[in-house]
Structure 1
Amino acid sequence: RTIPPIFNTVYGSDDDPSGSEAGTKVRDFHHHVKGDMPDGGRYHALDPDTYFWAHATFVEQVLYFADTFVKRLTQAEKEQIYLESKTWYRRYGVSDRPMPANYAEFERYWDRMMGEIVVAHPTAKYGVGYVTKGFPCPKAVPPALWRLIAPVFNSVAAFLTTGGLPPRAREHLGLPWSDRQERRYQRFAAIWRSRPVNWVWDHLPMRLRYNGYALKGNGHT
């Protein structure tokens, strides 16, 4: 239920209720998300520092995957993406007090969070646990077939999942990653950034390149 309003928050227009109201709808999903911290403190998802951190992880992944798999971004392009993300964040209606003013400040914010604040919570460890122990057989797949494809699937899934995490996140979560694996991952990424792949991508119809929310937001309906 969260995907449509999130996409409308990102791609919607302030002049269109489907866009202007989507952010507050996403925010309101989080009213009940609260509890106790291991140190005895309390947390709430709508605390501005907590809510912005969740947003920051989205922004960082957009920047990372564009820079890794599409093209090497210039500083100006990174700045533009970050500034546009500020518009997206403000649509949630949560205080923007923790939000860095520009991309350079966002980089410093990210480094501080990863180096000093973020810890390997059991929930996060559980979420990436299948990377090391393998994924269970999906209900729709016959067990005999899964036994045949699982070794390849698990190997590829672990490679892509672990390689796509920030280095310090891998360290926090105790995920093994060698220099050799990093070189393989970067070679894989370079293929996707190559001119032939980008040429093919640029010549695909818009409906194949972007989801419906993005097409609507950019006037291609």
Structure 2
Amino acid sequence: MPRTAPTTLLGTVSSLGTTSGVANIIQQLALPPVGEGVSESRVVSGSPRRRPLKRARTTGQYLALAVAGNEADRAAMRGAVAEVHRHVRSGPDSPVAYNANAADLQLWVAACLFRFFVDQHVLLYGELDRAQLDHLLAEARPLATGVNVRAERWPGDWAAFEEYWSGMLPRLAISEEVRRDFESLADLGFLGEAWGPPGRLLARLLGPAYHFLTRGNLPPHFRELMGWTWTARDQRRFERVLVALRWADRLGNRVLLRLVYRLYVADFRLRRRLGLPVLGRLRVSDVMVRDGGGRRRIARPRQADRSR
């Protein structure tokens, strides 16, 4: 167990964070306008169904810049993210209205990202006190301003954050289409869509374990929204995993993960210096990604696509 509580968000990074990414995505996308916006997206270049490694890099860079970058880094990322989000807007047939640049939607996304950092520490090492949470919350403001949320909209202290979080929970819902998307992320099935046979092999080997870890990292309210069960036996098994992850931290994995964050920042700055698009070349399809937009030839269509 760490001798001192983290004083920065980078200090909360732990081995558990490598297992909780999809759980956090589910929290973000459980807000219907966010979930439907991602589900209906036509932005091929940023989709894990088409470019999973690139998507992992750009998401990691966004988090790294928020916790270890400077204002120039964040301004460049803010502009790039806004340009991508400009192409994610609801249409006449969308189940809900959405605009990916809407500040109220991005405030929820940023709140979930803050929980990504705090929850991985709390699950492994125990609760933080109110003063520590207030401090980390202030440190987390770049998570919101990075997606064009005004700084004053970020909760001022932990009490305000809890009030905001509790007030949002009744607004959450997961449609069947979005639930299928979540299942493909949690069991790594999306890798088959991106990479064909090699991706399906990886999903078969690693998917069951990652699905379990995703369920374990989700707060109960979100598990219920997904219709996932969680038994006492599951909890005991998950606690054994937490013991192993604590040992991984002690053996140096936390240091390695923080180095990865620093490398993300260095890579981002190199791309800017070379004049490269920091999020890569933007590609937008006329067809939703879920319906085959930008599909690789080696990938097998999803069952839902074939049934249409």
Alpha carbons of structure 1 residues 39 and 153: separation in structure 2 relative to 1, 3 Å: closer
Query: Could you tell me which residue of structure 2 aligns to residue 129 of structure 1?
Result: 183
Alpha carbons of structure 1 residues 93 and 141: separation in structure 2 relative to 1, 3 Å: closer
Name the amino acid aligned to 1:153.
Answer: L
Pair 1:32-2:32 in alignment: no
Corresponding residue to 1:22 among 72, 77, 84 = 77
Name the amino acid aligned to 1:100.
Answer: P
Q: Displacement of 1:90 after TM fit? A: 2.1
Corresponding residue to 2:162 among 77, 86, 107 = 107
| Unaligned segments of structure 2, at least 5 residues | 1-45, 47-57, 269-308
Contact map agreement 2:101 2:147 (CA 8 A) in 1: no
Distance 1:12 1:133 in 2: 32
Distance 1:164 1:170 in 2: 9
Pair 1:174-2:227 in alignment: yes
Contact map agreement 2:81 2:147 (CA 8 A) in 1: yes
Q: Displacement of 1:89 after TM fit? A: 1.9
- 5 Å matches for 1:50-199? 50-69=105-124, 71-75=125-129, 76-96=131-151, 98-114=153-169, 116-130=170-184, 135=189, 139-141=196-198, 146=201, 150=204, 153-193=206-246, 196-199=247-250
- Tell me the C-alpha RMSD between the 2 structures: 3.7
Determine helix, strand or coil for the equivalent of 2:115.
helix
Query: Does 1 or 2 have the higher relative contact order (CA < 8 Å, sep 6+)?
Result: 2
Q: Displacement of 1:117 after TM fit? A: 0.6
Distance 2:95 2:199 in 1: 46
TM-score by length of 2: 0.55
Determine helix, strand or coil for the equivalent of 1:43.
coil
Distance 2:248 2:87 in 1: 45
Q: Displacement of 1:5 after TM fit? A: 5.6
Contact map agreement 2:114 2:143 (CA 8 A) in 1: no
Contact map agreement 1:170 1:176 (CA 8 A) in 2: yes
Determine helix, strand or coil for the equivalent of 1:21.
helix
Q: Percent identity?
A: 20
Q: Displacement of 1:200 after TM fit? A: 1.8
Determine helix, strand or coil for the equivalent of 2:90.
strand
Query: Could you tell me which residue of structure 2 aligns to residue 13 of structure 1?
Result: 70
Q: Displacement of 1:26 after TM fit? A: 1.6
Query: Could you tell me which residue of structure 2 aligns to residue 200 of structure 1?
Result: 251
Contact map agreement 2:145 2:151 (CA 8 A) in 1: yes
Q: Displacement of 1:121 after TM fit? A: 2.6
| Unaligned segments of structure 1, at least 5 residues | none
Name the amino acid aligned to 1:45.
Answer: A
Distance 1:154 1:206 in 2: 22
Name the amino acid aligned to 2:128.
Answer: T
